[in-house]
Structure 1
């Protein structure tokens, strides 16, 4: 892995908390709050310069811009929601370009697992009774935050153990 292990260890607690927030919010409201997107960006901006080599940290801004542009186009065509696109852009600085061959299949696997789990769990009466007002139980759309947040957390956990 190309993400420095020490940097991943410093960022992991914040990434996990924000990822859980995003997953919960998207399931409950079918919405990823802008505050969560900003919190993830703030985490990168506040901690990144101290734990990452400056060149790696700066490339994160390029990653953000590229993913934001792609996400904007995908939102315009109706492929993803705006919150999903914004959160993916906020995730982008954390993903090293050399790790894309690891991250993208992992993201695909997390999306599939999250989709299947969500579709199964929402059919369980006890679960629905425990969270009766969650919008994702009734909507046809999948709450992508349920996959995006955990995928970034898994990546950071792997980097903390196996990073350079």
Structure 2
């Protein structure tokens, strides 16, 4: 069973500010509660083909995986896919202006877990949705108070 979770939020900051911050994977540990670290395999800044190693904790397990950027449209969309790790996963960010000073952001995680993870996909989806909602709330708070 596939995992496909979309979470959305409006952040009261311009698209350029939100996209610049979120589009830099080095910032992920600051706003993603479960991400412990990010190490670049390629030189920053982010571009199609960039690769980063992530270490995270999710559902009581430590996860280490490598993301590769597969699509980048500055201030509009960033899509990353795992190059290795516990199960294939794609994460995408989309940004659009609501007003001159506000941004609608969507975060989408989708993948095809196999084995036990495949059986637990409905639980994983629910846990991922809750976690992403907390992460986006934290991101909103960080960006609106800076």
TM-score for both structures, normalised by structure 1:
0.29
Task: Write 1 or 2 for the structure with the bigger share of helix.
Answer: 1
The structure with the greater share of residues assigned to strand is 2
Calculate the TM-score normalised by the size of structure 2. 0.32
